[in-house]
């Protein structure tokens, strides 16, 4: 079995953007006198268990009886909040010295050189994705990726496998020939439900998530001179994630014995 595709999540996986998103949420709340919300770091860890900005807004609106009774049209309210939050995110991104996480560009370049297709499955918008790649690499995402699925394309958020299924269809590949790179519990579940092996790169907001079934859980993809720190799985003697290691993973029929605990999402 040979690796044919790698599918990346974006926020927290390609780049450590979650803190910028948190700041954008709080900036949006602060400018609205009717909203008495603030999401500190500890709270935001819990919030990230909900995929999608609009979904997070809906949940908190439903839990806020005072605000819920003030708002006549809940969906319009949520859409307006999300629109303003997204603008704040893109504005903050322009002034932030953000870079891609260790190993991301190296792995993408290696895969492209070896004819391996690259995809993106994200719950973020295409506008946010374009802003990130413009900021870091000054290119359009479609200059790097063969198939891109965003929240503009697929409405069902992770842990639904819909985004991954759509990317696989766009790549014209079977899940057994691909791996997913993720950073969250919901992302891991979504990719597994789509039939993919998963590599998880954690960060401050997701390090305590449950990554049952993941082939590898590490702090990042690593670099030859900056080894990853492995917390779950078999890296086959490697100290960074490369195509050779990913080939070993998809060829290895032994799965994590906790994978049976994963509930497939229809």
Strand partners of residue 11:
15
Give the separation between CA 212 and CA 188, rounded to whole angstroms.
8
- 9 given a catalytic annotation: yes
Residue that is written with structure tokens 């998880």 in the block: 200
Strand 230-233 with 197-201, pairing: unpaired
What string of DSSP letters covers 106-156? HHHHHHHHTT-EEEEE-SS-HHHHHHHHHHHTSS-GGGT-SEEE-TTT--S
Of 9, 138, 152, 242, which is the active-site residue? 9
Rounded distance between C-alpha atoms, residue 44 and residue 144, angstroms: 31
**Which of 252, 168, 182 shows the shortest CA–CA distance to 214?**
182
State the residue for tokens 């990719």.
191
Q: What burial class does residue 97 get, using C-beta atoms within 10 Å of its C-beta: 0-12 exposed, 13-18 middle, 19+ buried?
A: exposed
Which one is catalytic: 11, 16, 72, 257? 11
Asked if residues 7 and 196 have their Cβ atoms less than 8 Å apart, the reply is: yes
Residues with a catalytic annotation lie at: 9, 11
């Amino acid at each position: 079995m040979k690796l044919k595709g790698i599918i990346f999540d974006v926020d927290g996986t390609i780049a450590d953007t979650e803190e910028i998103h948190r700041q954008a949420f709080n900036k949006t709340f602060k400018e609205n006198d009717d909203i008495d919300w603030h999401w500190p770091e500890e709270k935001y860890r819990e919030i990230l268990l909900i995929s999608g900005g609009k979904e997070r807004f809906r949940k908190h609106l439903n839990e806020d009886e005072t605000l819920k009774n003030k708002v006549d049209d809940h969906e319009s309210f949520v859409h307006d909040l999300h629109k303003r939050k997204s603008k704040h995110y893109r504005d903050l991104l322009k002034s932030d010295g953000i870079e891609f996480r260790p190993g991301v560009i190296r792995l993408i370049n290696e895969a492209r050189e070896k004819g391996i297709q690259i995809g993106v499955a994200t719950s973020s918008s295409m506008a946010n994705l374009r802003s990130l790649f413009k900021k870091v690499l000054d290119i359009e995402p479609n200059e790097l990726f063969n198939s891109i699925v965003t929240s503009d394309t697929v409405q069902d958020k992770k842990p639904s496998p819909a985004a991954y299924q759509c990317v696989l269809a766009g790549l014209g590949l079977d899940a057994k020939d691909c791996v997913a790179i993720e950073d969250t519990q919901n992302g891991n579940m979504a990719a597994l439900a789509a039939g993919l092996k998963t590599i998880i790169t954690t960060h401050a907001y997701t390090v305590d998530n449950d990554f049952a079934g993941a082939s590898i859980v590490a702090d990042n993809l690593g670099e030859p001179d900056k080894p990853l720190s492995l917390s779950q799985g078999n890296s086959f003697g490697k100290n960074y994630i490369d195509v050779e290691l990913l080939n070993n993973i998809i060829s290895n029929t032994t799965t994590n014995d906790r994978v049976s605990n994963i509930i497939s999402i229809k």
